[in-house]
């Protein structure tokens, strides 16, 4: 059974908890002050500490800090008669396992205690994941499938030249990462890698974003500004979601690709650029060409080399390597040490559909690490996170009700965001092109005229 240290200045609580927990077979140590509790902690190294937040000689939070500094795996459950939000947040931030209010419900306490001890046992018994093979901060694409190996070969070939590349794939598959790896392995890696997200800039400003503008070219142009083409110099210009370019701007951009010359908006000077163009899209550009939404000549200019990044559901064998890579990265970023998975977690992750692809997997792991109360990611926590991300379709809603619910949700979100589509897309957790597509699909109109 477990060694439990109780630190509380109320003798009635010490005696009742000693009796209740002692009858369960646990070894109990008691202290009425913070100082006495720290002495007992150093002597017996208990598995769990039940710690009052208000002690006669010390603040319980300071005692918690001392316990945390020791580096032991001990779990600490804070108890208090005060119900203020700030103290609860502070205790959890400093590493408390749980926070229970007085008057104590011994069964609630026992439930928290048993859960803490089970996590402690998992921390001790679950092996650490095999170390990720690649540094988490490096630009590396994870995958061992045949299709991914073909992508690696193509990247190797592209690094030797400056051919235009079109990267296709669903949102979240890592198209930008592929572009970065091509750039960073080229002879021009020291030159800039410049990104222009064609879905996030309003149409009236896109030409200026791309080509730059001269001072006074339009209202608000208070100074001459270089565009993305000019900023890229001899490096790489990455056009994300290139399918969102308007037909008019597609023609102007095609002219640049043909002549490698451009002028800033409102300018007279002809400028030249040798930057490499890498474009990406989640849309079917060939179909857009057939529908007259995308210029065929520009399409062929961009797709000198095609790369298709497969969705994660088509390469689930990559999940274990991705999990190891992301956990190392997340731990470094969050300052955590969650390096173990409970039995069954990896199988569950490898069996998931991952409609949000690699980005979705990383987000799930970030939440799982935040939720972890020890060094182990629990299967039940992963199940909760995945269930919260489940589409209503899988929960038995009819297609009509789902459409109605989605349309209403999008309308309400747009209203909350003041019809700022970028803000609304962020609130909805979808890309701006996806939001625009759904607005068209459902025929959603603003309640007031748009500028």
* pLDDT per position as a tens digit, 91-118: 888 889 998 988 888 888 988 998 889 8
Residue 42 has pLDDT above 90, yes or no: yes
DSSP string covering 83-108, please? --HHHHHHHHHTT-SEEEESSP-HHH
What kind of architecture, by CATH, is found in domain 3-125? 3-Layer(aba) Sandwich (3.40)
Cα separation, 418 vs 434, in Å, equals: 18
Question: Which among 284, 203, 196, 264 has a CA at the least distance from the CA of 232?
Answer: 196
Cα separation, 435 vs 440, in Å, equals: 9
421-428 and 399-416 are packed helices; what angle lies between their axes, rounded to 10 degrees?
Answer: 130
Looking at residue 395, its pLDDT comes to: 41
Residue 54 phi/psi, 5° resolution?
-115, 110
Q: Do domains 146-310 and 313-390 have the same CATH topology?
A: no
Looking at residue 265, its pLDDT comes to: 94
Cα separation, 293 vs 295, in Å, equals: 7
Identify whether the C-beta of residue 182 lies closer than 8 Å to the C-beta of residue 165: yes
For 182-231, how does the pLDDT look when each residue is reduced to its tens digit (9 = 90+)?
999 999 999 999 999 998 888 888 999 999 999 998 888 899 999 999 99
Residue 135 has pLDDT above 80, yes or no: no
Please report, rounded to a whole number, the percentage of residues in the chain having pLDDT higher than 90: 60
Cα separation, 167 vs 160, in Å, equals: 18
Looking at residue 87, its pLDDT comes to: 83
What kind of architecture, by CATH, is found in domain 397-442? Orthogonal Bundle (1.10)
> Class of the 146-310 domain?
alpha beta
Residue 154 has pLDDT above 60, yes or no: yes
Question: Which among 40, 32, 38, 33 has a CA at the least distance from the CA of 13?
Answer: 32
Looking at residue 240, its pLDDT comes to: 96
Looking at residue 310, its pLDDT comes to: 95
Q: What is the mean pLDDT of the chain?
A: 88
Looking at residue 243, its pLDDT comes to: 95
CATH code of domain 313-390:
1.10.8.60
319-334 and 357-371 are packed helices; what angle lies between their axes, rounded to 10 degrees?
Answer: 50
Q: How far out from the chain centre does Cα 191 lie?
A: 28
β-sheet with 98-101: strand ranges across? 27-31, 3-7, 48-52, 75-80, 98-101
Question: Where are the chain's structural domains?
Answer: 3-125, 146-310, 313-390, 397-442
Sign of CA dihedral 195, 199, 201, 203: positive
Pairing outcome for strands 75-80 and 98-101: parallel
Q: Which residues pair with 388 in a beta bridge?
A: none
Residue 401 has pLDDT above 60, yes or no: no
Identify whether the C-beta of residue 398 lies closer than 8 Å to the C-beta of residue 144: no
- DSSP code at position 310: P
Question: Which among 82, 88, 85, 89 has a CA at the least distance from the CA of 103?
Answer: 82
Cα separation, 438 vs 116, in Å, equals: 45
Give how far Cα 348 sits from Cα of 52, 118, 277, 394, 395, Å. Answer: 39, 21, 39, 17, 19
For 325-377, how does the pLDDT look when each residue is reduced to its tens digit (9 = 90+)?
999 999 998 888 898 999 899 999 999 999 999 999 999 999 999 988 888 99
Q: Report H helices in 45-192.
A: 60-69, 85-93, 106-125, 146-158, 175-184
Residue 268 phi/psi, 5° resolution?
-115, -20
pLDDT-wise least confident of 175-184, 251-260, 326-335: 326-335
Looking at residue 9, its pLDDT comes to: 93
Identify whether the C-beta of residue 43 lies closer than 8 Å to the C-beta of residue 18: no
Residue 39 has pLDDT above 50, yes or no: yes
Cα separation, 276 vs 260, in Å, equals: 11
Mean pLDDT of 55-65: 94
């Amino acid at each position: 059974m477990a060694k439990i240290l109780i630190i509380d200045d109320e003798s009635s609580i010490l005696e009742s908890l000693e009796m209740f927990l002692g009858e369960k077979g646990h070894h109990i140590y008691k202290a009425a002050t913070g100082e006495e509790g720290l002495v007992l902690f150093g002597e017996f190294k208990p598995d769990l500490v039940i710690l009052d937040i208000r002690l006669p000689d010390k603040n319980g939070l300071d005692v918690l800090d001392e316990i945390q500094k020791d580096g032991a795996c001990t779990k600490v459950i804070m108890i208090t008669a005060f119900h203020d939000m700030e103290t609860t947040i502070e205790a959890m931030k400093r590493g408390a396992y749980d926070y229970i209010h007085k008057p104590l419900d011994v069964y609630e306490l026992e439930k928290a205690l048993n859960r803490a001890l089970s996590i402690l046992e998992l921390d001790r018994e679950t092996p650490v994941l095999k170390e990720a093979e690649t540094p988490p901060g490096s630009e590396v694409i994870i995958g061992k499938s045949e299709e991914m190996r073909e992508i690696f070969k193509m990247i190797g070939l592209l690094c030797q030249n400056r051919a235009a590349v079109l990267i296709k794939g669903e949102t979240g598959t890592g198209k930008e990462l592929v572009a970065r790896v091509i750039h960073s392995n080229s002879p021009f890696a020291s030159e800039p890698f410049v990104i222009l997200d064609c879905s996030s800039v309003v149409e009236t400003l896109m030409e200026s974003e791309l080509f730059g503008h001269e001072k006074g070219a339009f209202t608000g142009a208070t100074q001459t500004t270089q565009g993305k083409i000019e900023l890229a110099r001899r490096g790489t210009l990455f056009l994300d979601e290139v399918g969102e370019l308007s037909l008019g701007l597609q023609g102007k951009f095609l002219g640049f690709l043909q002549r490698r010359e451009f002028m800033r908006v409102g300018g007279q000077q002809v400028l030249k650029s040798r930057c490499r163009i890498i474009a990406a899209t989640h849309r079917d550009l060939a179909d857009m060409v057939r529908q007259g939404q995308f210029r065929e000549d520009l399409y062929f200019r961009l797709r000198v080399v095609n790369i298709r990044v497969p969705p994660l559901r088509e390469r689930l064998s990559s999940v274990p390597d991705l999990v190891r890579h992301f956990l190392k990265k997340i731990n470094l970023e969050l300052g955590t040490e969650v390096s173990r998975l409970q039995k069954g977690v990896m199988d569950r992750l490898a069996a998931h559909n991952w409609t949000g692809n690699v980005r979705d997997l990383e987000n799930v792991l970030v939440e799982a690490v935040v939720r972890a109360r020890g060094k182990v990611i629990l299967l039940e926590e992963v199940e909760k996170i995945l269930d919260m991300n489940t589409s209503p379709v899988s929960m038995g809603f009819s297609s009509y009700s789902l459409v109605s619910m989605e349309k209403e949700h999008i309308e309400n979100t747009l209203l909350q965001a003041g019809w700022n589509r970028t803000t609304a897309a962020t609130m909805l957790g979808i890309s701006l092109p996806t939001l625009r597509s759904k607005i068209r699909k459902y025929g959603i109109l603003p309640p007031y005229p748009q500028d």
